[in-house]
Each structure stands twice: as C-alpha cells, then as structure tokens.
C-alpha cells in the first residue's frame, strides 16, 4: 500500500490541477492508471482471502455436520470411548451407547447439547507440539473420567479427529489407572483405533508423565513396605 500511495502522489505532482479540458483529460488518465495498478492488487488480496475463508468454512462444515447414521467412536474399554467431533454431536448414538459424559479436547469449543442431559468437561487444547497439557489438565481429566466410570457412566473423549489431543488425555488416564507405560498404553489404544498418534509434544509430555507415575509408584511401594514392617513389629 505504501508503494501505491507514493506512486499516486508523484503522478499528481507532475500534473498540477487545472480547469482546462486537456488537464482534466490528463487527470483522468492519471486516475485511471492509478486505479489500474492498485485494483488488481486489492482484488487479488480480497480474492485470496475469500477463497481461504470458504476453504476453511468447508473444512469446518465437514467436521461439524452431525452424522445421524454413522458413529465412528471407538470403545477402548467397557466404559470409555474415543472419537471425533461428529461423534460428540451424534445424540442418537450417544444415547444408544449410554454415553452421558463427554470430554472435549478442542480449544474454545462450547458444549453441544447440555440441555439434552449430557455432562461436559472442556479441555481447551490446540493440536500443536508446543501446547502444554500440564499437571492440572492431567489431574482434572483423570478425576472426571474416573469419577464418571465409578458411578457407572460411559465417557466419550473426543477432539476433532480422535487422533492426538483426545487420545493423549485417554492414554494418560489409562497409564495412571492401570500402571502402564506410555508405549504399552499407546499400543493397546492403537489396537482399538489405528489412527491414534499423539503429536511429538504430547508424546514428550506423556513420557514425562510415565516417569512421574513410576516415581510415585515406587514411593508408594516403599511406604507400603514401611507400613507393613511397622505392623509386623507390633
């Protein structure tokens, strides 16, 4: 824009304003030439923006349309399901599978059907390698899922594709619940849902979680041994 403005200003400086016809014609020519140089640039920019908008809108429509006849969520354990965003919108199949609790792992996505009686936990996550899940999210999601299952409810964990974000949260839950390593848990989940693959950043965090859980488990075992020793000595 700055180069266009400079060109336009220098042209008017070379052709001072006058009321005679010749100068009016020249002025028109100058304006036309200026328009000719700027319009394609603005038009191309606007066109690119419009095409980008409609492409993104099409992608969102493809993801957000509820598929009443399809349910692609995968049952990982008797009470725990992993799926994509369309599964979270599929009320008939959610009800059919007695899924009442939904963990949403998508940034700034509001609950779809709270009025239908579904219970939601929203974890605002981007699927990016530098996204931090953090202890608080691991803890909150574990407690939510575990409490729901212990109360006899079925839980769906989902993101956009059911591949990275939601898979990471579900894997973290199973690691802690069963005392499994990350690799063991990943293999178990992939056998149920082959597309599962946490991004590199999530993998690093899950491996760190594995170390922390292992350390806590060892500390717990040592504490149990100490307690037993005290009990035996009485």
- Residue 105 among the catalytic residues: no
* DSSP codes of every residue in 130-151: T---HHHHHHHHHHHHHHHHHT
Long-range contacts of 179-185 (CB under 8 A, 24+ apart): 179/213, 179/217, 181/210, 182/206, 182/207, 182/209, 182/210
Helices (H), the chain: 2-14, 21-64, 85-88, 91-96, 134-150, 165-178, 182-192, 200-233
Cα atoms in the 13 Å half-sphere on the side-chain side of 185: 22
Marked catalytic residue, from 99, 145, 159, 209: 159
DSSP summary character for residue 68 = T
List the catalytic residues: 159
């Amino acid at each position: 824009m700055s180069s266009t403005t400079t060109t336009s200003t220098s042209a008017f400086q070379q052709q001072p304003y006058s009321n005679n016809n010749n100068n009016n014609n020249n002025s028109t020519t100058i304006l036309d030439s200026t328009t000719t140089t700027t319009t394609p640039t603005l038009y191309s920019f606007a066109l690119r923006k419009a095409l980008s908008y409609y492409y993104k809108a099409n992608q969102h429509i493809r993801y957000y349309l509820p598929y009443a006849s399809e349910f692609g969520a995968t049952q990982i354990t008797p009470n725990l399901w992993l799926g994509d965003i369309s599964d979270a919108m599929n009320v008939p199949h959610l009800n059919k599978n007695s899924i009442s609790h939904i963990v949403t792992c998508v940034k700034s996505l509001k609950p779809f059907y709270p009025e239908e009686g579904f219970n939601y936990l929203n974890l605002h996550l981007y699927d990016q390698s530098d996204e931090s899940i953090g202890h608080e999210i691991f803890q909150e999601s574990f407690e939510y899922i575990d409490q729901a299952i212990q109360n006899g409810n079925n839980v769906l964990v989902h993101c956009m594709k059911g591949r990275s974000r939601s898979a990471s949260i579900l894997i973290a839950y199973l690691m802690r619940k069963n005392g499994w390593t990350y690799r063991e848990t990943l293999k178990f989940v992939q056998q149920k849902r082959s597309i599962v693959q946490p991004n590199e950043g999530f993998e690093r965090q899950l491996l760190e979680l594995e170390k922390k859980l292992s350390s806590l488990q060892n500390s717990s075992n040592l504490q149990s041994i100490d307690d037993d020793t005290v009990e035996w000595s009485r």
